[in-house]
Amino acid sequence: MRLLITGGYGFIGSNFVRLLLAERPGWKIVNLDLLTYAGNVENLEDVEPQARGAGRYRPVRADVAEAGAVESLFGEERPEAVVHFAAESHVDRSIEDPAPFIRTNVLGTGLLLAASRRHSVGRFVQVSTDEVYGPLALDEPRRFTEDDPPQPTSPYAASKAGADQLVAAWFRTYGFPALITRCTNNYGPFQFPEKFIPLMITRAMQAERLPIYGDGLYVRDWIHVEDHCRGVLAALESGRPGRIYNFAGSAEWANLDVVGEILRQTGQSRSLLETVPDRPGHDRRYAIDDARARAELGWAPRRSFEEGLASTIDWYRTHERWWRRIVSGDYLVDRRSAV
């Protein structure tokens, strides 16, 4: 298999690369990444040299929203499949400036689809998010299924919904073998420290204030990144073109409870909690039904949230150099020659 992965230096993408290097030894992986602020070559520094030396892996620094670069790469590498992780993904940043989200998430996806079709790619997996479905009420008993229409509320979610619609259109119009995966909130190793769980972990480790939006009762379902990556792999290998597959962690927790558990496991006081003004359009609850993925792909999450959170806290504790370099900005130095 010659596989093109976009965004393979990001949080989820780098964990997916690690999974493939460990469990699909016959595959060749091309990692296309622009190395924006959240892409970090250090995420793969312990596995990349050996994989490159064995001819199994090639990193390429390029922009998915640059048509010439995309076309050149497809012509050179002739990938048999594409797994598309590359995206601007932080809701708060999208509220401040939606333009990069529209460019990367919508335009970039369209260019990848067009190049994939021109070069007869056999499978395209669009990695999306549960946020495209919009919010649910706290007391609403249902979870969104793949048949629910998108109702995004943030610029980030809208850009991902737009990308999903392009993928669906390529399947319906051209019969192109594309499918979509949507997951709940990821957590685990190598997550950029601005995101909720690593932000709370690293601040707790430094005995700093832990900012909580509003009343702290916003509910998210949490899935460990390795469980998500196994779901994406299952969709790549045995998902049906034209289908959408939801991946959930079956772990709905209020933000305030997540932070309380992090404080407990790090031995810190709840006096570190700090309520801050809420962000605009904050969705109260996300929840999705993953019955289709379980039935059609034979997938199920392997880690409970309690177990996964404990291992994640341990990871950040033993990888302090990694996250401190990011917080300080040191990892940004000399990125121009990173790949």
For residue 148, what is the domain's CATH number?
Answer: 3.40.50.720
Q: Residue 46: phi, psi to the nearest 5?
A: -85, -15
- Given 130, 146, 227, 283, the catalytic residue: 130
130 assigned to active site: yes
Give the pLDDT of residue 335.
41
Q: Which residues contact 274 (CB under 8 A, 6 or more apart)?
A: 209, 210, 211, 212
Domain extent at residue 269: 2-337
Q: What is the pLDDT of residues 274-317, one digit of tens each?
A: 999 988 889 999 999 999 999 999 999 999 999 999 999 999 99
187 assigned to active site: no
208 assigned to active site: no
Asked if 262 and 308 touch (Cβ cutoff 8 Å), the reply is no
The tokens describing 101, both together, are 């989200």
- Given 131, 221, 227, 290, the catalytic residue: 131
Q: How big is the chain by its Cα radius of gyration, in Å?
A: 19
**How big is the chain, counted in residues?**
339
Q: Which of 255, 263, 184 is nearest to 222 (CA)?
A: 184
Beta bridge partners of 275: 212
Beta bridge partners of 125: 83, 179
pLDDT exceeds cutoff 50 at 336:
no
Q: Which of 34, 31, 62, 61 is nearest to 48 (CA)?
A: 31
- How many whole angstroms separate alpha carbon 7 and alpha carbon 127? 11
Q: Which residues contact 36 (CB under 8 A, 6 or more apart)?
A: 88
Q: What is the pLDDT of residues 31-48, one digit of tens each?
A: 999 999 889 999 999 999
Q: What is the pLDDT of residues 79-120, one digit of tens each?
A: 999 999 999 988 999 999 999 999 999 999 999 999 999 999
> Tokens 């997916």, residue?
16
What dihedral do alpha carbons 218, 224, 225, 228 form, nearest 10°? -90
Give the pLDDT of residue 279.
86
pLDDT exceeds cutoff 60 at 332:
no
- Given 9, 57, 133, 156, the catalytic residue: 156
Distance of CA 122 to the CA centre of its chain: 23
Give the pLDDT of residue 37.
87
Q: Domain tally for the chain?
A: 1
DSSP state of 285: B
